[in-house]
Structures are given as structure tokens and as C-alpha cells.
């Protein structure tokens, strides 16, 4: 896939009043090295936002 489900989910969250701290990480089945690094960076950002 091309991540359509993630874009759709993000729009639903925003329409419901949710706030996204960053763009999501889209990885097909399992993350490769680049996506893994993005996941780690997103996790750090999430931890710092609370």
C-alpha cells in the first residue's frame, strides 16, 4: 500500500479534535532501517510531549 489508511486515520483524528504531534511513520508490513529510525525519533518526540 501507499499509506492511504494512515492518511485517512489522521484526517479522522483531526476531525474529531485530536492533535497530531508529527506525521505518522508508514511502513509496509515491518519497518526497514530508515522507518525504524523514524519510529524511534517519533517515540522520543512523543515522550517529550507529555
Q: Domain of residue 24: give its range.
A: 4-48
Confidence of residue 49 (pLDDT cuts 50, 70, 90): confident
Q: Is the pLDDT confidence value at 1 over 80? A: no
Which pTM value belongs to this model? Answer: 0.71
Residue 6: strand, helix, or coil:
helix
Number of domains in the chain: 1
Amino acid at each position: 500500500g501507499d499509506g492511504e489508511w494512515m492518511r485517512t486515520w489522521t484526517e479522522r483524528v483531526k476531525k474529531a479534535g485530536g492533535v497530531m504531534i508529527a506525521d505518522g511513520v508508514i511502513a509496509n508490513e515491518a519497518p526497514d532501517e530508515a522507518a525504524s529510525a523514524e519510529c524511534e525519533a517519533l517515540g522520543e518526540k512523543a515522550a517529550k510531549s507529555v
